[in-house]
Amino acid sequence: MNLDHHTNPVVENVFGISWLSFNLSNVMMIPIVSAIVFFFFLWASRNLQMKPTGMQNFVEWLIDFVKGIINDTMDWKTGKIFLPLGLTLITYILISNLVGVATLGFVGQDLWWKSPTADATLTLTLSAMVVLLTHYYGVKTKGTKAYLKEYVSPVPIMLPFKIIEEFTNTLTLGLRLFGNIYAGEVLLILLVGLGTTGGIFGLIAAPIPLMVWQGFSLFIGAIQAFIFTMLTMVYMSHKVSSDH
């Protein structure tokens, strides 16, 4: 099997609509990652204690870590309602980034088991959701009139620039995550391909670079989850804080 020329299991022209297609790998991996995150927290909180140990200790550390991200971007009184959002984002994106690092699953030439964040559709959907939420909470916190007034402050000519900024924020937030995870996954596929099709040389040369790159990809996956969550709170702070 030549992994260098793998394909995605895509169903096109769904319901006869020419532009509507689904990547079945994403359709499978998104609920799998969601279930992993859900059952992880369910398992970690199954026996809560006043003096945390084991996984409860890790989850409490993670909560404190997300609190620190929020405190770095806005005051806690304003930002405490975003703790569930931040905790969900950082864990979901982290697991999504890492599932394709641990293993890749092929059926024929189709890549089924991979990181869902290696697809721009998912990452741009997440970034669009984040930007829409910033607008929602901006209006909820400041009121519609005061919120919209910020788009023409300090002068009305700023309106088109601020609208463009919303689109660029969406693109950069989503594409940054996608680019890093996709590039890492492509190199993993190439290294696996070298090990499986490169004969004796491949079997000898591929394992060490593969393990090194997997370790580096774990680090990149964690960093990208942190960056996405941090930027989410920065964008949220710009919308809900009165000092921005």
What pLDDT sits at residue 122?
92
Residues 17-43, mean pLDDT to the nearest whole number: 87
- pTM (two decimals): 0.86
Please name the residues in contact with 93: beta carbons below 8 A apart, sequence gap of 6 or more.
117, 126, 177, 224, 225, 228, 229
Closest C-alpha among 99, 90, 94 to residue 130: 90
How many angstroms separate the CA atoms of 230 and 238, rounded? 13
pLDDT tens sequence across 46-68: 877 777 777 888 889 999 999 99
Count the Cβ atoms, other than its own, within 10 Å of residue 57: 13
Look at residue 1 in the predicted model and tell me its pLDDT: 47
Instruction: Report the alpha-carbon angle 134-39-51, nearest 5.
Output: 90
- CA–CA dist 64, 239 (Å, integer): 23
Is pLDDT of 4 > 60?
Answer: no
How far, in Å, CA of 108 to CA of 111, rounded? 8
Residue type, 18: S
Pick the range with the lowest mean pLDDT from 38-47, 168-177, 226-235. 38-47
- What is the pLDDT, as a whole number, of residue 6? 61
Write the DSSP assignment of 151-196 as a string of letters: GG-S-GGGHHHHHHHHHHHHHHHHHHHHHHHHHHHHHHHHHHHHHH
C-alpha span between 166 and 155 (Å, rounded): 18
13 or 206, greater pLDDT: 13
For 17-36, b where at least 16 C-beta lie within 10 A, e where not — what string? eeeeeebebbebbbeebeeb
Residue with tokens 């927290």: 41
Give the tens place of pLDDT for each residue, 86-141: 999 999 999 999 888 777 666 666 777 888 998 898 999 999 999 999 999 999 99
Tokens of residue 158, six digits: 């700023």
Q: What is the pLDDT of residues 136-184, one digit of tens each?
A: 999 999 999 988 888 888 888 888 998 999 999 999 999 999 999 988 8
Is the model's pLDDT at 205 over the cut of 70?
no
* Across 201-219, average pLDDT: 72
CA angle 217, 56, 226 (to 5 degrees): 35
